[in-house]
Amino acid sequence: MKFSRAIVRKPGQSYVNGLTTSDLGKPDFALALEQHAAYVEALKQAGLEVTVLEADERFPDSTFVEDTAVLTEKCAVITNPGADSRNGEIEDMKQVLPRFYDTIEYIQAPGFLDGGDVMQVENHFYVGLSTRTNEEGAIQFREILSKYGYEVTIVPLKEFFHLKTGIAYLGNDTLVLAGEFIDSEVFKDYKHLVVEKEVEYSANCIHINDHVIIPKGFDSTKKQITDAGYQVIELDMSEFRKQDGGLSCLSLRF
């Protein structure tokens, strides 16, 4: 999987009032903006052309653009996000994505799906069933993608918030995985880079061509990924972690 572009959205001031289950405190907006700018620079360093969308104050969580779409080589799928306060974020994506895609598909109610629940491994997509993605949404996704020759496997989640909270694909048949995925039958045929419970947050990392971007402060994960032959970029993610966000959530890469 070779990527050349990314779409991100700056956080707005309302970001500090977004959804969260963490007890890490309120984000510092100025610091979030700084961390977001560093994120954009890292994507550029990894070789991507980045489209930066302006903040949308109406939607506190809209900096987590990953949840609004799944972008493939053959089509874009606009999702139907499972959180009420986030569902309207897709309206703007309907305006933005036709700049990049001729073929756009949609997940429709009663189906719900968040992009954070979708992981692409070459021509195979894994979809987690979570509090945001229901079976109806996952089945619609499978029906859509099978038209384009992709395979789709549905994975019920036990503990993780989103599928990609605990797993990432690095290319070369290699997965970084944590928690419930470590012993999962579904992923047993891939090479495993296992991330232990205390450093589980670093399982949400992103592979872009030769680079892997990981959150800062996770030395054991950094070592494993460096030893596997990737160039690692570390980013401070403190203000996004406070709102349950990880590295993948902040961009759509295609």
Cα 183 from Cα 181, distance rounded (Å) = 6
205 catalytic residue (yes or no): no
Q: Report in angstroms how near the CB of residue 155 gets to ligand CIR at its nearest.
A: 15
C-beta closer to ligand CIR: residue 67 or 92: 67
C-beta closer to ligand CIR: residue 20 or 174: 20
C-beta closer to ligand CIR: residue 61 or 92: 61
**Interface positions with ligand CIR (CB under 6 A):** 18-20, 61, 64, 66-67, 83, 86, 116, 162, 165, 243-246, 249
List 36, 162, 207, 211, catalytic entry:
162
162 catalytic residue (yes or no): yes
List 36, 205, 207, 249, catalytic entry:
249
Query: Three-class SS of residue 245?
Result: coil
Q: Report in angstroms how near the CB of residue 102 gets to ligand CIR at its nearest.
A: 26
Closest CB to ligand CIR: residue number: 116
Helix (H), strand (E) at residue 219: helix 219-227
Laid out side by side, the sheet with 206-208 consists of: 206-208, 211-215, 231-235
Q: Report in angstroms how near the CB of residue 149 gets to ligand CIR at its nearest.
A: 25
Taking only Cα atoms into account, the Rg of the chain, rounded to an integer number of angstroms, comes to 17
Is residue 102 packed enough to be buried (19+ CB in 10 Å), middle (13-18) or exposed (0-12)?
Answer: exposed
Q: Report in angstroms how near the CB of residue 245 gets to ligand CIR at its nearest.
A: 4
C-beta closer to ligand CIR: residue 162 or 207: 162
Contacts within 8 Å (CB) and 24+ apart, 220-228? 220/195, 220/196, 221/176, 221/193, 221/195, 224/176, 224/193, 224/195, 225/170, 225/176, 225/193, 228/170, 228/174, 228/193
Please give the positions annotated as active site.
162, 249
